[in-house]
Amino acid sequence: MRKRSRWLWVCALVAYAFLYLPLIIVVVYSFNDSRLNAEWVGFTLDWYRKLFANDEMLLAAGNSLFIALVASVVSTILGTMAGMAMHRYRLRLLPILVLTPIAIPEILMGVSLLIFFVMLNFTLGLVSVALAHISFCIGFVAIVVRARLSGMDETLVEAARDCGASPLQAFAHVTLPLIMPGVIAGALMAFTLSIDDFVITFFTAGAGTVTLPLQIYSMIKIAVTPEVNAVSTLLMLLTLLLIVIASKVSPSLLRSD
Coil, helix or strand for 32?
strand
Measured from the CB of residue 117, what is the shortest distance to another protein in angstroms? 8
Measured from the CB of residue 234, what is the shortest distance to another protein in angstroms? 21
Q: Which is nearer to another protein, 51 or 205 (CB)?
A: 205
Coil, helix or strand for 33?
coil
**With b meaning 16 or more CB within 10 Å and e meaning fewer, what string describes 166-188?**
eeeebbeebbeebbbbbbbbbbb
Contact 164, 77 (CB under 8 A): no
Measured from the CB of residue 242, what is the shortest distance to another protein in angstroms? 28
Other C-beta atoms closer than 10 Å to the C-beta of 61 total: 21
Q: Which is nearer to another protein, 72 or 135 (CB)?
A: 135
Q: Which is nearer to another protein, 175 or 215 (CB)?
A: 215
Coil, helix or strand for 43?
strand
Measured from the CB of residue 111, what is the shortest distance to another protein in angstroms? 6
Query: Using alpha carbons only, what angle is made at residue 180 by residues 175 and 186, rounded to the nearest 5 degrees?
Result: 125
Q: Which is nearer to another protein, 17 or 107 (CB)?
A: 107
Question: What is the binding site for another protein (CB under 8 A)?
Answer: 34-39, 41, 56, 111, 114-115, 118-119, 123-124, 202-203, 205-210, 214-215, 217-223
Measured from the CB of residue 35, what is the shortest distance to another protein in angstroms? 6
How far apart CA 195 and CA 69 sit, in angstroms, is 9
**With b meaning 16 or more CB within 10 Å and e meaning fewer, what string describes 194-213?**
bbebeebbbbbbeeebbbbb
Q: Which is nearer to another protein, 104 or 238 (CB)?
A: 104
